[in-house]
């Protein structure tokens, strides 16, 4: 088998300008963490998102942002979090680690994200928070979901790891909830050298705690020091919120990565637009093959982080399609995001039961096509032609 189109783990290639920014930070940043580039990235990210300055905090990856969001929820024994069953595991386990139990919500079969209705079915008297994952890059119906959470007095957290730059009603994904998390992992449309993340916190009182929580409990002294070195460079304390103690972490991201992130914000919209245009070309060129059901969205509500489809003729045809694409055509498609209730991890914790038929139906017949931004036009055309040929051969 000659692999011609790989499912790459790297989403983008950096421009010479972006590489120059990294080299400059490598040479001159002082310090190499917690410095001017971190503050610039946070400020520019908040401006891009259209949220308040001082509400965005860069982290070493998306999971650490999720961990901080879970910590700020201050769960008590018995508290539940509504979570999509169809998502990456990192969306879910930080909330378990901070003391919550998960209640699985189903997704819409076509959009593959949760709805206000599916969330409502998962809410119980023990629910404290709701996590909405904008999976594949598509923004869920946040006005309806936000109204539901406000009505029920629930904390609303957006997992916007895959949806940076996506918009609904002129608002960016990750600007609707009480908190939001972003990922700059290698596979994302904006990636800071493989890892990186961002946490958004709407409440200024909670946001004020994040720098201390993120950086080992470090904080300033509450008194004037005649000598700057006495008693030390800074204090270390336990952040307190309504008598709850919040233990510190070390979730900082380096200056080189922050410098790159701030630079990449300049072209994230063009990256998203180019991926969306290419996705629509692929989807429209396969319109005469209803065996593959794509989610078609021609607005900025979808950034097409991934290009996924469902084989409407079932799992056996899906498997035959993927085998032929890989073995005969050299195109590596993959299957992603097992419903979390099926994993041993969640089953061992007693969370292995879910009433999520759409999540099951989609996953059992899903296909994710190679869709890195840097894929050449020749590779794209070859993948499209191969898809048509294999689908025709299966009829």
pLDDT in tens, 370-379: 999 999 999 9
Percent of residues, the chain, with pLDDT higher than 90? 93
To the nearest 5 percent, what fractions of the chain are helix, strand and coil? 40, 15, 45
Per-residue confidence band for 343, with pLDDT thresholds at 50, 70 and 90: very high
- Specify if 5 maps to a domain: no
Q: Are residues 244 and 361 both part of a single domain?
A: no
Q: Are residues 238 and 117 both part of a single domain?
A: yes
Query: Could you tell me which of 108, 54, 66 has the C-alpha nearest to residue 84?
Result: 108
Count how many domains the chain has.
Answer: 2
Choice among 36-45, 216-225, 343-352 with the minimum mean pLDDT: 216-225
CATH number of the domain to which 349 belongs: 3.90.1150.10
Instruction: Write down the pLDDT at residue 240.
Output: 82
- Specify if 4 maps to a domain: no
Instruction: Write down the pLDDT at residue 42.
Output: 98
Domain end call among 264, 286, 313: 264
Q: Are residues 178 and 299 both part of a single domain?
A: no
Q: Are residues 251 and 307 both part of a single domain?
A: no
- Specify if 357 maps to a domain: yes
**pTM of the full structure:** 0.96
Per-residue confidence band for 364, with pLDDT thresholds at 50, 70 and 90: very high
Domain end call among 244, 264, 284: 264
Q: Are residues 54 and 82 both part of a single domain?
A: yes
Average pLDDT in the 312-330 region?
97
Please give the structure tokens belonging to residue 94. Answer: 């930080």
Q: Are residues 62 and 40 both part of a single domain?
A: yes
Contact 97, 81 (CB under 8 A): no
- Specify if 2 maps to a domain: no
Q: Are residues 78 and 218 both part of a single domain?
A: yes
- Specify if 7 maps to a domain: no
Contact 113, 138 (CB under 8 A): yes
CA-based radius of gyration for the chain: 22
Q: Name every residue whose Cβ is closer than 8 Å to that of residue 262 and which is 6 or more positions away in sequence.
A: 37, 40, 41, 44, 45
Instruction: Write down the pLDDT at residue 153.
Output: 98
- Specify if 158 maps to a domain: yes
Q: Are residues 239 and 112 both part of a single domain?
A: yes
Strand ordering across the sheet containing 56-59 = 56-59, 197-201, 179-183, 155-159, 127-133, 80-84, 101-105
Instruction: Write down the pLDDT at residue 85.
Output: 98
- Residue appearing with tokens 């139990």: 101
Per-residue confidence band for 243, with pLDDT thresholds at 50, 70 and 90: confident
- Specify if 8 maps to a domain: no
- Structural domain including 386 reads 268-394
Task: Report the alpha-carbon distance of residue 95 to residue 147 in Å, rounded.
Answer: 23
Q: Are residues 114 and 205 both part of a single domain?
A: yes
Domain end call among 215, 239, 264: 264
Q: Are residues 41 and 184 both part of a single domain?
A: yes
- Is pLDDT above 90 for 238? no
CB contact burial 158-197 (16+ within 10 A = b; e otherwise)? bbbbbbbbbbbeeebbbbbbbbbbbbbbbbbbbbbeebbb
Backbone region of residue 219 per phi and psi (left: phi > 0; alpha: psi in -120 to 50; beta: other values)? beta
CATH number of the domain to which 64 belongs: 3.40.640.10
The mean predicted confidence, pLDDT, of the chain is 97
- Is pLDDT above 80 for 1? no
Q: Are residues 257 and 272 both part of a single domain?
A: no
Residues in the chain: 395
Give the number of other Cβ atoms within 10 Å of residue 384's Cβ: 17
- Specify if 103 maps to a domain: yes
- Is pLDDT above 80 for 312? yes
Question: Which residue would you say has higher pLDDT here, 281 or 245?
Answer: 281
Q: Are residues 124 and 20 both part of a single domain?
A: yes
Per residue in 87-146, pLDDT (tens digit) is 999 999 999 999 999 999 999 999 999 999 999 999 999 999 999 999 999 999 999 999
């Amino acid at each position: 088998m000659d692999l011609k189109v790989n499912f790459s783990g790297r989403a983008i290639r950096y421009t010479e300008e972006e590489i120059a920014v990294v080299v400059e930070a490598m040479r001159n940043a002082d310090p190499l963490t917690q410095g001017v580039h971190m503050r610039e990235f946070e400020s520019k990210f908040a401006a891009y998102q259209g949220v308040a300055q001082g509400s965005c905090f860069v982290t070493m990856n998306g999971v650490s942002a999720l961990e901080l969001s879970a910590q700020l929820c201050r769960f008590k024994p018995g508290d539940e979090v509504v979570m999509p069953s169809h998502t990456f595991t990192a969306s879910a386990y930080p909330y378990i680690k901070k003391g919550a139990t998960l209640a699985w919500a189903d997704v819409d079969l076509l959009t593959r994200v949760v709805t206000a209705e599916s969330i409502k079915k998962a809410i119980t008297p023990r629910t404290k928070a709701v996590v909405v994952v904008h999976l594949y890059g598509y923004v869920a119906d946040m006005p309806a979901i936000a109204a539901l959470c406000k009505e029920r007095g629930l904390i609303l957290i957006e997992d916007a790891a895959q949806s940076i730059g996506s918009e609904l009603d002129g608002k960016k994904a990750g600007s609707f909830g009480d908190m939001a998390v972003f990922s700059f992992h290698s596979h994302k449309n904006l990636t800071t050298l493989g890892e990186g993340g961002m946490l958004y916190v709407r409440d200024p009182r909670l946001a004020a705690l994040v720098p201390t929580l993120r950086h080992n409990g470090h904080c300033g002294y509450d008194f004037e020091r005649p000598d700057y070195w006495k008693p030390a460079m800074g204090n270390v304390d336990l952040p307190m919120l309504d008598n709850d103690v919040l233990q510190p972490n070390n979730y900082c991201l380096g200056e080189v990565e922050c410098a790159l992130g701030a630079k990449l914000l300049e072209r994230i919209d063009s990256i998203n637009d180019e991926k969306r245009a290419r996705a629509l070309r692929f989807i429209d060129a396969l319109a005469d093959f209803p065996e593959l059901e794509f989610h078609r969205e021609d607005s900025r509500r979808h950034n097409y982080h991934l290009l996924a489809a469902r084989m409407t003729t079932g799992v056996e045809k899906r498997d035959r399609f993927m085998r032929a694409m890989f073995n005969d055509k050299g195109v590596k498609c993959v299957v992603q995001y097992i419903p979390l209730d099926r994993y041993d991890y969640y089953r061992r914790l007693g969370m292995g039961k879910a009433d999520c038929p759409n999540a099951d139906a989609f996953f059992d017949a899903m296909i994710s096509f190679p869709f890195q931004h840097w894929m050449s036009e020749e590779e794209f055309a070859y993948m499209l032609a191969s898809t048509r040929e294999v689908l025709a051969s299966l009829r």
